[in-house]
Amino acid sequence: MTANSVINKTICYHCGDNILTADYIIEDKHFCCNGCRSVYQVLSANKLCSYYNYNEHPGATRARTDKRFDYLSEPSIISELIDYTDERVTIVTFFIPHIHCSSCLWLLEQLNKINPAVHYCRVDFLKKQLNIRFDHHQLSMQQLVELLDDIGYEPLISLQDIIKKQNAPNRDNLVQKIAVAGFCFGNVMLLSFPEYFGISVHDQSFRQFFGWLNGLFCLPVVLYSGRGYFVSAWQSLRKKVLNIDFPLALGIAVLFIRTAFEILTRTGAGFGDTLCGLVFFLLIGKFVQKKTYHHISFERDYRSFFPVAVHVIEDDKEKPVALSNLKTGHRIMIRNNEIIPADAILLKGEALIDFSFVTGEAAPLAKTLGEIIYAGGRQTGGAIEMEIIKPVSQSYLTQLWNNEAFTRQQDNRAQTFTETVSKYFTIVLLTIAFASLFFWLPTDLKRGFAAFTAVLIVACPCALALSTPFTMSAALSIFDRNLFYLKNTRVVEQMAAIDTIVMDKTGTITTGDADCVKMEADLNAEEKRLIYSVCINSIHPLCRMIYHHLGSNERLKADEYSEVPGKGIIASLAGRRVLLGNAKLVLGCNEPGPQSTKVHLMIDKKYLGYFAFTQHYRDGMEQVAGLSANYDLFMLSGDHDHERYELVKFFKQPGSMYFNQSPQDKLDFIASLQRQHNKVMMLGDGLNDSGALRQSDLGVAVTDNVNNFSPGSDAILDGRSFAKLPAFLQFSKDAVTIIHISFLISLTYNMIGLSYAVTGNLSPLAAAILMPVSTVTIISFTSLATHFMAKRRRLI
């Protein structure tokens, strides 16, 4: 790198991006764009510049500032968004993806300084939410959102508000149940000590007292904390399956009945502390299993990506109409960076559609008048007018969601290990219990029942029920550390069972936005300056890539400048004529054969060469391709096969690459693999992969920014961790092995306990020791083993 370019490299005071022009400077602070500068101006006018002191460059880049929020004046749309309203105030919660540092927190809680109509604002940092209470007489919803946008925090507003739904308060009150169980467990344990250590003969009255107290403490544990197990066991019985909750509920019930019986008949102390401890540990297991990612949603469909409203032209007037009210025949207006919500015909304007959300393809496509444009594309450039030909839910892309893969309950997925085992476990357990009952029954009735209950108590699969949640939650946090976010703990077991991997091409195995610009031209400094100056005028993504590639340069003023849509740019500056564009414009002939995207250059009728935009494969694609040794690897692409030659080094098997695949084709392909009893993992990134992701046994969305849109899936993989995919697959298998081993350990404990129990001589003390010891063994074994395996797979 030359010294010259180092000096030129300044970064934006607001967002930290590299600065390419010297146009935006105030008070010796440099900004990359007008948007960033205007945020600074708003903040400095309100004396809120401490924002920049807490963190360096806390802002988001504001290159796009043409957001329109006038749909927020529609009362029907507003009422969907707000949490509460009365005559004086309105409370609303926004999801703001950009919240990422203490500066964000500080600024967003100072909104009142900018506009006094805001009474209260609170940030929830992990959920990236902002709760605002404001006076809606002085500040409308639209103004509030515009205010947030002005300071660089644009809320994400969509009608499918899953983030909010996901964070809705849990109705099952697990924490409270644990609190009650823990409270009772502690008390019962202390009150049981006298019994275990022995009470002298003249203090026998205490024995009664402690017994009654223990019985009382057991009541809330069984009736409140343990209630869920009875409900679940009953439901599974009605469905004629034996799940893990059945033996658990049986154990809890037997423990309670025997304890109550012993206390009432004054024959013993009962198993109060075992009962409370059991419920307490089981609930803890449930708690660790519930991992929530507050800011990630796995359930998104096209609604969270489409706009809330579009502008419909009626009688030469524009009016925002909510998406659900959009009908065929409506004339709509789509501006720069707006998304086309339904299949429509282009009537007016220059359409340059970016389908990157749908297909992952970065280069935008030019469309001609009268052409049908499919929903999901994003317009880049000027405003266009279109007529809708299909309702939103029936469009080419969105009709995918009408497929049965989205409507049916997902019960076709593999049973987890615990589910498979618990069926047999319950049968064996009941057999042993009844065998010991009938063995003792003819000789000693009391002993028979003692043995029967003791078997059910001791063999209660507490350790079995805990091994999966503790292993899986440890595994989940390992994945989490490596930027791989799993929807729930079941996904780990699904991943271990995978034998076939299907990948999308664009955006999944290639990086979506950082396309490589290759300069196939020998340019001198002056020519570079000319091209830079031409490109900086255009908002076309290819031009933007070129001027980023050329780096900072002096900007020359163009005397003449015109963009030919879909073709290129003709400009003249500094007395020279520059032609920049496709082969048709520059060379006057079509590009020979379908090839990678190129921008040709011509200065003063002299052909200089071209810029080629090659797809850049993700780092680690070689390692991932190495998976073909153990897995069947397939690639599905919506594109033409012009990259077949380059891809063949990754997908060596003949017949493993499929091109020109529609979203429906992808879904059908997965289904056909499944019919051959393959367990299929699908990696995709765009909306067009949604069907395949949903149909597969394990759908993984690959994304470069987890806060951005990603289609509904079982797991979200950050692109930076793509190379670790083989390690992830290995590790999931390790986790399942750990569960198997811990199941064996818990079986050993059960055997020891059972050998006592069948004789009918189980003492409360033995049960009270055995249960926690087995639990602690399982918990420590699973966490240590998971940690060890993660280290071996180099995931920590």
Identify which of residues 47 and 317 has a Cβ nearer to another protein in the complex. Answer: 47
Q: How far apart are CA 42 and CA 755, in angstroms?
A: 77
Cβ partners under 8 Å of residue 777, min gap 6: 463, 745, 749
Identify which of residues 30 and 127 has a Cβ nearer to another protein in the complex. Answer: 127
| Minimum CB distance to another protein, residue 102 (Å) | 5
Identify which of residues 105 and 564 has a Cβ nearer to another protein in the complex. Answer: 105
Q: Does 199 bind another protein (CB under 8 A)?
A: no
| Minimum CB distance to another protein, residue 453 (Å) | 28
Q: Which stretch binds another protein (CB under 8 A): 80-88, 134-142, 183-191, 281-289?
A: 183-191
Q: Which of 5, 18, 65, 102 binds another protein (CB under 8 A)?
A: 102
Identify which of residues 109 and 665 has a Cβ nearer to another protein in the complex. Answer: 109
Q: Does 208 bind another protein (CB under 8 A)?
A: no
The DSSP result for 218-264, as a single string, is HHHIIIIITHHHHHHHHHHHHTT---THHHHHHHHHHHHHHHHHHHH
Number of residues that bind another protein (CB under 8 A): 28
Q: Which stretch binds another protein (CB under 8 A): 101-109, 228-236, 355-363, 575-583?
A: 101-109
Q: Which of 42, 91, 105, 521 binds another protein (CB under 8 A)?
A: 105
- Measure CA 213 to chain center: 48
Q: Which of 7, 47, 238, 239 binds another protein (CB under 8 A)?
A: 47
Q: Which of 83, 203, 480, 622 binds another protein (CB under 8 A)?
A: 203
Q: Which of 21, 42, 82, 124 binds another protein (CB under 8 A)?
A: 124
| Minimum CB distance to another protein, residue 213 (Å) | 7
The kind and range of the H/E element at 292 are none
Task: Classify residue 529 as left (phi > 0), alpha (psi -120 to 50) or beta.
Answer: alpha
Q: Which stretch binds another protein (CB under 8 A): 102-110, 266-274, 637-645, 740-748?
A: 102-110
Query: Mind spelling out the 3-state secondary structure of 649-718?
Result: CCCCCCCCEECCCCHHHHHHHHHHHHHCCCCEEEEECCHHHHHHHHHCCEEEEEECCCCCCCCCCCEEEE
Identify which of residues 190 and 751 has a Cβ nearer to another protein in the complex. Answer: 190
| Minimum CB distance to another protein, residue 187 (Å) | 6
Q: Does 179 bind another protein (CB under 8 A)?
A: yes
Q: Does 50 bind another protein (CB under 8 A)?
A: yes
For residues 235 to 254, the per-residue mask of contacts with another protein, x marking binding by CB under 8 A and - elsewhere, is --------------------
Q: Does 171 bind another protein (CB under 8 A)?
A: no
Residue 673, judged by CB atoms within 10 A of its CB (0-12, 13-18, 19+), counts as buried
Q: Which stretch binds another protein (CB under 8 A): 179-187, 515-523, 553-561, 714-722?
A: 179-187
Q: Does 607 bind another protein (CB under 8 A)?
A: no
Q: Which of 106, 406, 561, 658 binds another protein (CB under 8 A)?
A: 106
Six token digits for residue 739: 């569960």
Q: How far apart are CA 298 and CA 296, in angstroms?
A: 7
Identify which of residues 219 and 776 has a Cβ nearer to another protein in the complex. Answer: 219
| Minimum CB distance to another protein, residue 750 (Å) | 33
Q: Which of 21, 42, 156, 183 binds another protein (CB under 8 A)?
A: 183
Residues in the chain: 796
Q: Which stretch binds another protein (CB under 8 A): 106-114, 491-499, 565-573, 704-712?
A: 106-114
Handedness of CA 468, 469, 473, 474 (dihedral sign): negative
Q: Does 109 bind another protein (CB under 8 A)?
A: yes
Rg (CA), the chain: 33
Q: How far apart are CA 638 and CA 440, in angstroms?
A: 71
Q: Does 412 bind another protein (CB under 8 A)?
A: no
Q: How far apart are CA 734 and CA 729, in angstroms?
A: 9
Q: Which stretch binds another protein (CB under 8 A): 206-214, 333-341, 353-361, 420-428?
A: 206-214
Q: Does 180 bind another protein (CB under 8 A)?
A: yes
Report angle CA 619, 624, 627 to the nearest 5 degrees. Answer: 165
CB 237 within 8 A of CB 246: yes
Q: Which stretch binds another protein (CB under 8 A): 186-194, 248-256, 260-268, 698-706?
A: 186-194
Q: Does 206 bind another protein (CB under 8 A)?
A: yes
Q: Does 191 bind another protein (CB under 8 A)?
A: yes
| Minimum CB distance to another protein, residue 53 (Å) | 5
Among the listed residues 230, 286, 274, the one whose alpha carbon sits nearest the alpha carbon of residue 418: 286
Q: Does 48 bind another protein (CB under 8 A)?
A: yes
Six token digits for residue 786: 């998971």
Q: Which of 175, 231, 514, 784 binds another protein (CB under 8 A)?
A: 175
Q: How far apart are CA 241 and CA 221, in angstroms?
A: 26
Identify which of residues 168 and 589 has a Cβ nearer to another protein in the complex. Answer: 168
Q: Does 227 bind another protein (CB under 8 A)?
A: no
Q: Which of 166, 187, 289, 415 binds another protein (CB under 8 A)?
A: 187
Among the listed residues 567, 480, 431, the one whose alpha carbon sits nearest the alpha carbon of residue 296: 480
| Minimum CB distance to another protein, residue 205 (Å) | 9
| Minimum CB distance to another protein, residue 392 (Å) | 35
Q: Does 126 bind another protein (CB under 8 A)?
A: yes
Q: What is the dihedral of CA 187, 190, 192, 197, to 10 degrees?
A: 180
Identify which of residues 132 and 180 has a Cβ nearer to another protein in the complex. Answer: 180
Handedness of CA 637, 643, 649, 654 (dihedral sign): positive
DSSP, res 601: E
CB 276 within 8 A of CB 269: no
The DSSP result for 348-399, as a single string, is ES-EEEE-HHHH---S-EEE-TT-EE-TT-EE-SS-EEEEE-S-GGGSTTGG
Helix (H, G, I), strand (E, B) or coil at 312: strand
Identify which of residues 14 and 300 has a Cβ nearer to another protein in the complex. Answer: 14
| Minimum CB distance to another protein, residue 32 (Å) | 23
Q: Does 127 bind another protein (CB under 8 A)?
A: yes
Q: Which of 84, 193, 209, 424 binds another protein (CB under 8 A)?
A: 209
The CA distances from residue 677 to 405, 499, 502, 770, in Å, are 17, 10, 15, 43
| Minimum CB distance to another protein, residue 226 (Å) | 17
Report angle CA 658, 661, 665 to the nearest 5 degrees. Answer: 105
Identify which of residues 176 and 562 has a Cβ nearer to another protein in the complex. Answer: 176
Q: Does 91 bind another protein (CB under 8 A)?
A: no
Among the listed residues 717, 714, 726, 655, the one whose alpha carbon sits nearest the alpha carbon of residue 508: 717
| Minimum CB distance to another protein, residue 105 (Å) | 6
CB 692 within 8 A of CB 664: no
Six token digits for residue 365: 């496509």
Identify which of residues 214 and 656 has a Cβ nearer to another protein in the complex. Answer: 214
Six token digits for residue 119: 């009474």
| Binding stretches for another protein (CB under 8 A) | 47-48, 50, 53-54, 102, 105-106, 109-110, 122-127, 175-176, 179-180, 183, 186-187, 191, 203, 206, 209, 213
